[in-house]
Amino acid sequence: MRLGGIELRIADAHGLKTECSPPRFDARGECVVVQLRCSVLHRPNHSRSGVSRHSAAGRKLAITLTDEAATTDFAARLAPSLHAGMVIYLSGDLGAGKTTLVRGLLHALGYGGRVKSPTYTLIEPYDLPGLNLRHFDLYRFRDAEEWEAAGFRDEFDENNICLVEWPEQAAELLPLADLEIVFNILPDGRTLDLYAHTAAGKQCLTALHN
């Protein structure tokens, strides 16, 4: 099935290609995997850390994006599922497209201003009509305690959507993500592995697949 520039293909939980068919849950009703265009799911290859501690659990959706326009289109499809109180991890190498995705989400949510990377500011706040979004970049943190010292804990409440780049730099101090998006760089685009760890995250994956 193709959605815009995105082709869906079912794969098993170990990343092996199977026949195209509607997604099915496993015997426990816990895991569904959707693979786009690639026959094998690619594991992320982060330069500074491995996969987030949560990526082994929850439902999974894998998406291949061919270019920046496809990333923007994907953001527009994801945005309607977001709501206040959600926490989203964005993991992947430098230049993988994390900030591009955030920019697409903000524009889809109605923000018309400039969206810049918080690499040096650590956090960029965006207050939209009826919705607040906080964009974090923890790349420069040397250890998890710096997150605590920065006073960011108070930003993770029921009023804000929190998008966190390089969440592994704050390790166990961060709240559990509703949705975790791992960016993998390919020669001809990007693969995004999406992991849902809460009911809100699972609703996002369901909406993306429908």
Q: Which residues contact 210 (CB under 8 A, 6 or more apart)?
A: none
What CATH number should be reported for the domain holding residue 111? 3.40.50.300
According to DSSP, the residues that pair with 87 across neighbouring strands are 162
Q: 163: burial class by Cβ within 10 Å (0-12, 13-18, 19+)?
A: buried
The reply to whether the predicted model has a pTM over 0.85 is: no
In the prediction, which pLDDT does 23 show?
Answer: 41
pLDDT of residue 49: 37
CB 182 within 8 A of CB 197: no
Structural domain total, the chain: 1
Per the prediction, the chain carries an average pLDDT of 78
Quote the pLDDT of residue 37.
Answer: 36
Extended beta strands in 25-66, E state: 34-35, 59-65
Q: Which residue has the tokens 């730099």?
A: 169
**C-beta separation of 193 from 44 below 8 A:** yes
- Listed as ranges, residues in the chain with pLDDT below 70 are 1-58
Confidence (pLDDT) at 129:
86
Task: Determine the structural domain holding residue 79 and report its residue range.
Answer: 2-209
